Structures are given as structure tokens and as C-alpha cells.
Amino acid sequence: MAMHRVAPDIPLWVGSIYSLSAHISFEKYNINHIISMVRGELPGNQIQGYTHLHVEMDDDEEENIMQYFPETNKFIEDACGEWMTKVAESGKYKNYPENVESVHLEYPHNPDPPGVLVHCMAGISRSSTIVIAYLMKKLGLTAEQGLALVKKGRKIANPNPSFVEQLKIYEQCGYEIDDSKPLYRQWILKKDSEGIPNIGSTPKFKYRSETEGLTSRGQGFSADFRRQIRPKMNQSGAVEDATEATPEQTAPSMKTSLLRCRMCRQILASSNAFIVHEPKSPMPKQQSSRNGIGANASIAPQCMQYYVEPIEWMRDELEKGALDGKLNCPKCKAKLGSYKWQGSKCSCGKWCTPAIELTRSKVDEMLS
């Protein structure tokens, strides 16, 4: 079939370009809104009389489909949000696929609740991704649950690997996509940097401020409310296990930390710009103590580099158009780290792309 309904009580349809000619079904199922996820012009006679949203994009793993979720979600919500709120409140799909059969929902009017068709060329990747994103946000589903629900209605639904990755990022971002979400920013950064060897120039990155996320109080760094994240030493000079933070240290104003140059104390980055990853393999506690790494640092004991997003003071170096280079302190010019757009392997064994790194031994992390 050219199109399929997600579920009997969910008035969302996923289809191919050929579904636009199914006007008899549109009338039967009260479909009055259409989202077209294809490039190029559409036949005017096929969309005339319907509320229509046209998003021009390809089924390409380089495409950023996440950026359209707020717009497509609102479009669907405006069409059938009232009924979908009842579906969400019923809890029927909360633990999908469990307990689905225990709740029966029936629309109180005839015909069906207002329906939405989301189509692309084949009705496999782009269209299903858009519907999954809406269901995730509206019903509180994981990416896996959303995909399973849509596949139950349309078995050939199959977002490409990049779209699946983006749905998982969308879930981790709390179903909100904007520049305030580090995971979203870092995905954009990774995609942009992967293209540098091919295009031969540096994309226009969004640079972060060195003190981003700090309160005015935090930027003062008075002795009463700052703490350098270094290991605690006993009288013999051996490293002790880190102690629990005091209530004062865990206050909201202290959640953001800063990196300073160890030589001149210049502020280099706030933790809002850190790109934190899971180490490839765990490090024994005893070994982490020998390394002199405090448990309160933002990165794992195995990691000897802080990976960060582009910071304003790096702009001149990063925009030289080189594939790699050195990073020096903007104040004292001490060597602090390096960058490699094609990525590099962290000391923990994890490959990071891109690799904008500040060497741990050259900086101090401080809680503001």
C-alpha cells in the first residue's frame, strides 16, 4: 500500500509519494493535513484543499532532520493534538509494547479524528522519522519504542542509521532541539568537521564563550566559593581517595567548572563546552589514584585530554583551513593542546571526532 496508519487510535499515516493520489482514503479517514518530506515541486492538484507543510530534504545520512522536529511536531499537534492528548493521558502506550491491549480508545465523533499524512518518496525513512519524533515527544516514548510502534503499522518503515542516531539524541535532549543542548551542538560539530577534508575549508562554527554558563557571582572566583579539582594528598604525599563534596560545594552556583591555564591562570573554557565521552574500558580504582586524578573532575581518570567545542579564543587558529594544528594559551602562549578535524584517539582508547583537545597536565579544572 502507498500509506499505512500507525495504529487504529493514532490518526497518523506514513506513506510514499504515491499516497498523495489516495484522495478517497483521505476523505474516508478525515486526513486534512499533509507533510511532504521531499525535494522539488509537488503537483498542485494533489495538495490543493489540504493544510500542507513542505520540508525539502533528501534521505541522506548527512542531513540534519532533527532541526525540523519542532516545526513538524507543531504542525501535527495543531491538526490532531487534542485527540493525541487523550491518547497520551490514557497511558496506553507508556510502556509500549506492554499493556497496549488493556486500554481501548474510541473517538467520540464520526468520522475519525483529524488525520495527518506524512510522506516522502518511498515512505520508509524520512516520513517515518518525522512521525516517530512526534510520538516520542507526545507519548513519552524512547526512540526504540517509537520505531517499533511505527513499524507495527508500516512494516517497511526504516529510518537510515543517521536518522536513528538523531532520534536517540532527540530522546537524550528531552525532546527539545536547539543550540542550548550540548548533544545537539556536538552532533552538528561532528558532521561539519567530517566534511573538512573534502571541502578544503573550515565551516562557520558557532564558538562558545570561555565563561559560558557562569553566574556573575561565579565569574568572581572569590576564595569562599571556588575549588580546584585536584586530588587530596596525605602527609606522605600519596594520593587519597576523593572526599564527598560539602553542601556548599554542591550548590547550584557551583555546578559549572572552568579550565584555566596552569601557567598564567587564563580562563580557557567552561564545562558547558566540554565534550564528555564514556571511556572505552574502565580503569581500576587503585590505578586512578596512582594517576593523581580526583573523582570530582568532569572527565574520567583514563582521559588525559579535555575535548571541547570550538572556543572563541581558538577562532584564528581553527579558521586557518588546516586539518590539524596546535593550540596555545591566548595569554602566555604556552602550548595547551591540539586539534585534529579527522579525530584522534583519547588515552582511554575512545576515538573522538573532531578532536579539539586541551592536555590535562597543562590546565586546572576549577569549580566556580
Tell whether the model's pLDDT for residue 233 goes beyond 80: no
Query: Stretch 244-255: mean pLDDT, rounded?
Result: 38
Tell whether the model's pLDDT for residue 242 goes beyond 90: no
3 state SS of 18: helix
Architecture of domain 3-177: Alpha-Beta Complex (3.90)
State the catalytic residue, choosing from 120, 173, 303, 346.
120
Alpha carbon 235 to chain centroid, angstroms:
45
Q: How high is the pLDDT of residue 214? A: 63
Position with higher pLDDT, 176 vs 216: 176
Q: Where does the pLDDT of residue 198 fall: very low under 50, low under 70, confident under 90, or very high at 90 and above?
A: low
Top-ranked range on mean pLDDT: pick from 50-64, 86-100, 274-288: 50-64
Domain segments of the chain as ranges: 3-177, 199-367
Catalytic site residue 120? yes
Beta pairing partners, 270: 258
Q: How high is the pLDDT of residue 283? A: 61
Give the least confident one: 24-38, 159-173, 198-212, 264-278: 198-212
Cis upstream peptide for 310 (omega within 30°): no
Position with higher pLDDT, 123 vs 228: 123
